[in-house]
Amino acid sequence: MNGTEYIHILPCEKIPARVKVPSSKSDMVRALFFGMIATGESLVHRMEETGDTAAACSVIRAFGGQVIRDNGSWRITAHTRFPDTVDVGESGILYRYVTALAAGAPHFVKITGGPSLAKRPIAPLLSALGSGRFVIEGRDSQLVSCLLSTLFLREGDSVVDVISPGELSWIDFSLAWLARLGIRIEKRSYEQYLVFGGQSVAPFTFTMPSDPSLAFFFAVLSMIHGKPITISHMKEAIFHPDWKAFTILQEMGAGLEWEGEALRVLPGGIKGIEIDINHTIDSLPALAVLAVFGDRPSTFSGVAIAREKESNRVEALREELGKMGVQVQATFDTLTILPGMPKGAILCSHNDHRIAMALGILATKANSASTLMGYAAVQKTFPDFFNSLLA
């Protein structure tokens, strides 16, 4: 993917009445990682082929394991070795988890990946692993989660001290995964954890929920077009940290109804809001699009960590929404959107799947056609996004 792929998007009145989104990326990558370090064969249902799962499968093969696909059910066999080199693709979570795992290898392991990984903080993790004392800066929850998810493999107990913990719902999400696998960790506070050593992951079976962070883009589409939309397989997604974005959606005017396992979004008048979204930071691009159509300005705080995702999302949104004539004000930790009518423009995804999806949705409500460069960034998590959006 070189960023030169483009797609033309025309303003439209029609939106899909029903959509199905991929399974949860966060669950899929964790399932593949834990399946790799398990003691036998694990079975995971409702798996999807995405850039991140492809990277995880490549990692598993590098570690001597296997992934056997049978439609949406994947069998994962455990790793048998530490490789000399492993490529984690563009996956930030794999980058951190594999780094923490490789710290226990009997030899040096070289970890490579895509260009966006250079923007992902890793120094705090390397410092913690290298010192023998597990003290880590916790603003980025993945750095904490990868320690909790690998230290139990060591012989002795470990204490993890966290400075300035952030994205707390994601820490709870990781702890829930570990508890499901039978791993004992004592959470003394968000600042300290006792990880009991000498544990292993038993083979497991798990069925993936839909990804609420991807479904949220279509919920926003429903709101800005004023037309209801039904999203399939969402019931289990209420336990995911990104479900919190839907509670924000309700605060901004949406109604939600359940139709069995499906979620129906009922649009209402869009209300501006001031809210800390650190706990659901991946919703920032979609929320920024929703705020364009609010009844007053919206300010999202706690967004500093969004500067360290696949792109600097704060600056990417400021730049791209600005091209469409939307007034955006940014500080290091806040983003303010002033409502207005977006105009068609030549846009750039910044090689970021969530920026690409957000701009694609906004372009359907612009006053003229838009061109989105680098739209194929959606391959990372939702390869069929534009087919679903523009069907």
| CB 377, CB 356: distance < 8 Å | yes
Residue 189 inside a domain? The answer is: yes
Among residues 158, 191, 207, which one ends one of the domains?
207
Number of domains in the chain: 2
| CB 241, CB 172: distance < 8 Å | yes
* Whole-angstrom distance, CA of residue 314 vs CA of residue 284: 9
Residue 1 inside a domain? The answer is: no
| CB 84, CB 23: distance < 8 Å | no
CA nearest neighbour of 47 among 66, 78, 22: 22
Residues 231, 125 share a domain: no
Burial of 383 (0-12, 13-18, 19+ CB in 10 A): middle
| 3-class DSSP state of 255 | strand
Q: Which two tokens stand for residue 30?
A: 């964790």
pLDDT in tens, 237-266: 998 999 999 999 999 999 999 999 999 999
Cβ-based neighbour number of residue 216 at 10 Å = 29
Measured CA to CA in angstroms, residue 280 lies from 33, 169, 211, 235, 246 at distances of 23, 8, 13, 18, 10
| CB 329, CB 340: distance < 8 Å | no
* Whole-angstrom distance, CA of residue 217 vs CA of residue 362: 10
Residue 306 inside a domain? The answer is: yes
Residues 201, 226 share a domain: no
Residues 196, 112 share a domain: yes
Residues 295, 246 share a domain: yes
Residues 241, 196 share a domain: no
Residue 339 inside a domain? The answer is: yes
Residues 76, 123 share a domain: yes
CA nearest neighbour of 31 among 171, 178, 211: 178
pLDDT in tens, 170-189: 999 999 999 999 999 999 99
Burial of 81 (0-12, 13-18, 19+ CB in 10 A): exposed
Residues 366, 217 share a domain: yes
Residues 267, 191 share a domain: no
Residues 197, 218 share a domain: no
Tell me, what CATH number does 196's domain have?
3.65.10.10
- Predicted confidence pLDDT, tens digits, the chain (391 residues): 445 699 999 999 999 999 999 999 999 999 999 999 999 999 999 999 989 999 999 999 999 999 999 989 999 999 999 999 999 999 999 999 999 999 999 999 999 999 888 878 788 888 888 766 799 999 999 999 999 999 999 999 999 999 999 999 999 999 999 999 999 999 999 999 999 999 999 999 999 999 999 999 999 999 999 999 999 999 989 989 999 999 999 999 999 999 999 999 999 999 999 999 999 999 999 999 999 999 999 999 999 999 999 999 999 999 999 999 999 999 999 999 999 999 999 999 999 999 999 999 999 999 999 999 999 999 999 999 999 999 8
Provide the Cα torsion 207, 256, 174, 45; round to 10°.
10
Dihedral angle sign, alpha carbons of residues 93, 284, 137, 147:
negative
Among residues 161, 182, 207, which one ends one of the domains?
207
* Whole-angstrom distance, CA of residue 391 vs CA of residue 385: 10
Residues 239, 179 share a domain: no
Residues 166, 17 share a domain: no
Tell me the residue range of the domain where 103 lies.
25-207
Residues 53, 13 share a domain: no
pTM for this model (two decimals): 0.84
Among residues 207, 234, 250, which one ends one of the domains?
207
How far does Cα 209 stand from its chain's mean position? 14
